[in-house]
Amino acid sequence: MTRLGVEIGGLSLKNPVLTASGCFGYGLEYDDFYDVAELGGICTKGLSLHPRAGNPPERICETPAGMLNAIGLANVGVEAFCRDKLPILRERGVTVVANIFASSIADFVAITERLNRETGVAAVELNVSCPNVSEGGIEFGKDARMCGEVTRAVRSVTKLPVWVKMSPEAGNIVAVARACEEAGADAITAINTIRGMSIDVEQNKLRLANRTGGFSGPALRPIALRIVWEIAGAVSIPVIAIGGVSTTRDALEFLLAGATAVQVGTANFADPSAAKRVVDGLRAHCETRNVTVKSLIGSAR
Ligand SMILES: Cc1cc2nc3c(=O)[nH]c(=O)nc-3n(C[C@H](O)[C@H](O)[C@H](O)COP(=O)(O)O)c2cc1C
């Protein structure tokens, strides 16, 4: 285990920095910037059983200190991912976390069973918290019993580590995280976006065709930090933090609060090398202080 290495369930990551789902394509689009295999891992765009076109435009807009998106889980579908994307990622030695989405438990299971047939998938991340789709999504994520059921069903059909991604809109997010832990989750990832809106006052028109969108970016970070702190204090499985990470200091904040790893999302749109910068920054931080990342986890608690 190196200075930066962490363990999440049975999975060893070379460093605690991943890219967040939906903010890094399928990981193949960033070749011009750096070797993606240097990251702890990438989370794919949410994969569904069948390809999805997503919502009509406009689907994204900028806000102060963040952005709104209502992509609606546009993706190539699990079959095309396994055929066209995964082999390249596997060959390049990228640690791939398959983020998956479905509107029924049966489809969550079917996607997982398809992924089971492949090598090169390191873990499955269940998106039970998307705010931009009419069925499934956040309705699963708000309900501890439903989240537990989805987790249990996926757990029962795979040996892959199962991560479950929390919605900040769950009333009692700690109860949801605990239900997922009891159902066999290997890690909790937190958080997904929070629903927001924006109006173009010149045109007197909503900026997003979907009316609302998921809010992400730097302004989300204090909320995510509070939630990660609460969940890390309540479960004994690792917590992976997401929400407004764009610098090494941001990542450190989450690690000190008890996260075992972080995911970099919206920051990739402003700086495609953001996640790599965080890895390099963490390495420098740990070398200067002669500490390991592991020793930092939860040290501010
Ligand atoms: C354009 C966009 C698309 C996203 N798509 C997904 C997705 O497919 N699945 C998912 O679980 N989360 C998705 N997310 C949520 C992010 O993975 C992340 O949880 C959220 O943006 C907060 O992190 P950030 O502030 O670093 O962006 C998406 C976010 C954005 C901005």
Bond preceding residue 191 cis, omega within 30 of 0: yes
DSSP state of 85: I
The pLDDT of residue 138 is 74
What confidence tier does 150 reach under pLDDT thresholds 50, 70, 90? very high
Residue of 251 and 132 predicted with greater confidence: 251
Q: Which residues contact 248 (CB under 8 A, 6 or more apart)?
A: 277, 278, 281, 282, 284, 285
pLDDT of amino acid 130: 73
Residue 252: its H or E element: helix 248-257
What residue has token string 């029924």? 104
Domain annotation covers residue 301: no
Task: Give the domain extent around 257.
Answer: 6-296
Catalytic pick from 43, 82, 130, 147? 130
Contacts of 256 (CB under 8 A, 6+ apart): 296, 297, 298, 299, 300, 301
pTM here?
0.97
Catalytic residue flag (residue 23): no
* Backbone torsions φ then ψ of 75, nearest 5 degrees: -165, 165
Question: Is the CB of residue 69 below 6 angstroms from any atom belonging to ligand 1?
Answer: yes
As a whole number of angstroms, the distance between CA 227 and CA 221 comes to 10
List Cα–Cα distances, 130 to 72, 92, 205, in angstroms: 8, 29, 24
Asked whether residue 80 is domain-assigned, the answer is yes
pLDDT at 161: 98
pLDDT of 1: 57
- Domain membership of residue 246 (yes or no) is yes
CATH number of the domain enclosing 93: 3.20.20.70
Rounded to the nearest whole angstrom, what is the distance from the C-alpha of residue 189 to the centroid of ligand 1? 12
Taking the C-alpha atoms of residue 24 and residue 130, their distance in angstroms, rounded to an integer, is: 17
Would you say residue 252 lies in a domain? yes
Q: Say if 156 falls within a structural domain.
A: yes
Asked whether residue 1 is domain-assigned, the answer is: no
pLDDT at 133: 66
Show the tokens assigned to 116. 């089971």
For the Cβ of 132 lying below 6 angstroms from any atom of ligand 1, the answer is no
CB 98 within 8 A of CB 237: no
Smallest CA-to-CA distance from 227 within 215, 213, 241, 216 is with 241
Residue-wise over 125-141: b if at least 16 C-beta within 10 A, else e?
A: bbbbbbbbbeebbbbbb
Structure tokens at 296: 């930092």
Structure tokens, 164: 């479950």
Confidence of residue 185 (pLDDT cuts 50, 70, 90): very high
Task: Report the distance separating Cα 246 and Cα 100, nearest Å.
Answer: 24
User: Ligand 1 pocket, 99 CB below 6 A?
Assistant: yes
Decide if 28 is inside a domain: yes
In a domain, 175, yes or no: yes
Domain count, the chain: 1
Confidence of residue 96 (pLDDT cuts 50, 70, 90): very high
| pLDDT on residue 56 | 95
Q: Inform me whether the pLDDT recorded for 233 exceeds 90.
A: yes
What is the overall mean pLDDT for the chain? 96
Please determine, for residue 75, whether its predicted confidence score (pLDDT) is greater than 60: yes
- Ligand 1: nearest atom to the Cα of 267: 26
Going 73 to 75 to 79 to 82, the CA torsion angle's sign is negative
In ligand 1, which atom is closest to the CA atom of 220? 25
pLDDT of 79 reads 98
Query: In this predicted structure, what is the pLDDT of residue 31?
Result: 85
274, 246 Cβ separation under 8 angstroms: yes
| pLDDT per residue as tens digits for the range 6-48 | 999 999 999 999 999 999 999 999 989 999 999 999 999 999 9
What's the pLDDT score for residue 141? 85
The rounded percent of the chain whose pLDDT value lies above 70 is: 97
